[in-house]
Amino acid sequence: MGKPKIPKFSKEKEKKPAKKQFEPTTFEDFMEEGVELEEKGERYGDGDKSKRFYERAGEMYAKAHELNKTDSDCLYNWGRVSFVLLQYLPKRSAPIDKLKLIDTAIQKFRQALALDTKNADAMFNLGQALNTRAETVQDVDEIEDGYSQAALAVQEAISILEEAYALQEQELMPQLENMTLEAQPEEEEHSHDHDHSHEESTPDASTTVTEVIPTTAYTLIDTLVASANALSTMASMLANYEKAVDLFNSAQDKLKQAEKWLSQASREPEKDYQQAVIQIALQHAQTLALLADRSMTASGQVDDKTYTLALEKLDFITSKVDSRHCEAMCDRGDLLSQYAQAKQQTFVRSGRKLDGDPSGKEVWQLYSQASKSFQEALQIEPKNNNILRKLGDISLVRAQLPMSVADKNKQQLLKNAEFFYKQVLETDKEDLYGAWLGWAMSSWAQGEWCQTPGKEGEAERIVKMWIKRGGNDEIIQDAYEESDCYPKAFIDWVMTEFFADDEDDSE
C-alpha cells in the first residue's frame, strides 16, 4: 500500500524537518560541486540561469583552489568556466570587459600548465583563448599597442596548438596500432578457442577501449580546426600579401589533415561524426572568406573563385549533412553579403553604375540570396535576435542601392526592415546600437524617400525613446562608421534635431 498524501496544511508536514542543503567544505566537495554546476549550465544552454550556474561553478573552483593550490585540474576547470562565460556577455559589451574574462582564463590555463606541462587539454584551451585575445585586444581603446599584443597572442596560439596536437597524436597512435593488431584474425588452428574467448569478453573490451583512450580522432580534429582558425587570424593581420597567402594555405592544410583523421574516426555515435564534418566545413568556409577579403584588399579585384569555394562548403553542410543547420545558413548569409559588398565596391572605385550593367545585377542577386539564407535560418530559430537584426540590416542596404529595381522595391524593403527591428525590440529593448537605430532609420526613410505620411514624426518619437534609454551622439557616430545601413543624411538629421545643443555646448 502506498504512502498516503499529507494535506497541504497538515501538522504532520509542519513537524517534518527540512532537508539540510549540502554545503561543500573539503577540496573534493568544492570540485564535485563545481563540476555539477557546470553540467547544469550546459543543460540549460543559453540564458541567465545557465550563466549563473557557470558563475557559481567558477566560485566553487576558486574555493577549491584556496584549499589546494597545486591541483592543475582545478585551475584548468576554473579557466575553462571563465572562457565559457565570455559568450554570456551582452552583445555590445565593451572590449575591455571581454578582455578581462579572456585574460582570467589565460592566466588559469597558464597556471594549470605550470603544474602539468603535458596537459594537452589545457594547451588546447589556452590556444583558443589566446586566439580570441588576438581578435579582441585591437578593439580596446585603453590599449595603445593592440596590434602588437594581438600578433604576439596569435603567434603563441599557433605554437601551443601545434604542441597540443603533437602530444595528442603521440598518445593516440599507439592505441590505434593496438586496435589494428587486435582486429587481425587469428590463425585457423586457434580459431575455435579464440571465438569462445571473444564472445565472452566483448562487452568488457569495448568498455576498456572507452576508458583507456582519452584522446580520439575527434580530439585531433578539434585541435587542427582551432589551429586553422588561429592561422587564418594571423594571415588576415599580415600586411604582406604573399606571406598572408602562405598562412591561409597552411590553415587549409590543417583542415585537410582534419579530413584525413575524419576518415579514421568511428562513425558511432553518428552525431559526433556529423558534428566533426560540419566543424571542418564551417572553418574551411571562414578561412576562404578571410582569404577572399584579403585578396580584395591587395588587388582591388573580387576573388570570385574563392568566394564560390567558400559558398560550396556551406552549401555542402545544408544539402548533404544537416538541412536545418542554422549556423551554416547564417554564415552563408554573411558571406553572400560580404561578396555583394565587395562587388559593389569595385563599381564605386571604377566609377561604373550598377544599374544596367549585367555585373551590377549580381549585387542585387547576392543580397537577395543573403536575405533568403537568413530567412531560412529564421524559420529554424524564429526568436533569434541576431538573425532578425541581420534581416533588417540587409533590407536597409538593399533599399539604398542605386538601382531601378531597388527603387521599385524601396518602400517594401523599408517596411520589412521596420518589422524585423521591432521584432528584436520585443525581447531586447536595450539594443541601442542596432534595433532602435534601425527602426528609426526605416521610419525616417519611409517619410523622407517614399513620402509616407506620419513616418518622419514617428522617427522622431523613436529617437526620443532611444535617447531616454541611453542613446547618444557617440553611439550614432559609431553606427555610421561601422555599418552601411545608415546614410549620412539620416545621421545629419539625428545630429541636427537631437544633439545640436550638445555640439554648441562643447565649443
DSSP codes of every residue in 161-213: HHHHHHHHHHHHHHHHHHHHHHHSPPPGGGHHHHHHHHHHHHHHHHHHHHHH-
**213 pLDDT exceeds 70?**
no
The number of folded domains in the chain is: 1
**195 pLDDT exceeds 80?**
no
Q: Please name the residue that has the C-alpha cell 527540512.
A: 18
The residue segments making up the domain with residue 31 are 25-117
User: Residue 48: what pLDDT?
Assistant: 87
**pLDDT tens digit sequence for 292-325:** 999 999 999 999 999 999 999 999 999 999 999 9
- What is the Cα–Cα distance from 268 to 273, expressed in whole angstroms? 7
Average pLDDT for 404-409? 96
* Residue 16 vs residue 468, higher pLDDT: 468
Task: Say if 304 falls within a structural domain.
Answer: no
Task: Say if 37 falls within a structural domain.
Answer: yes
Q: What is 53-117 written as a DSSP string?
A: HHHHHHHHHHHHHHH-TT-HHHHHHHHHHHHHGGGGS-TT--HHHHHHHHHHHHHHHHHHHHH-T
Q: What is the 3-state secondary structure (H, E, C) of 221-253?
A: HHHHHHHHHHHHHHHHHCCCHHHHHHHHHHHHH
CATH number (domain holding residue 97):
1.25.40
Which among 192, 289, 279 is positioned nearest to 248, based on CA atoms? 289
Q: How many CB atoms lie within 10 A of CB 482?
A: 10
**pLDDT tens digit sequence for 336-393:** 999 999 999 998 888 888 888 887 899 999 999 999 999 999 999 999 999 999 999 9
Q: How many CB atoms lie within 10 A of CB 276?
A: 20
Instruction: Tell me the pTM.
Output: 0.86
Q: How many CB atoms lie within 10 A of CB 481?
A: 8
**507 pLDDT exceeds 70?**
no
Task: Say if 406 falls within a structural domain.
Answer: no
User: Residue 352: what pLDDT?
Assistant: 87
Q: How many CB atoms lie within 10 A of CB 371?
A: 22
Q: Which of 22-26, 284-288, 425-429 has the highest mean pLDDT?
A: 284-288
3-state helix, strand, coil in the chain (%, to 5): 80, 0, 20
Task: Say if 48 falls within a structural domain.
Answer: yes
Task: Say if 345 falls within a structural domain.
Answer: no
Task: Say if 45 falls within a structural domain.
Answer: yes
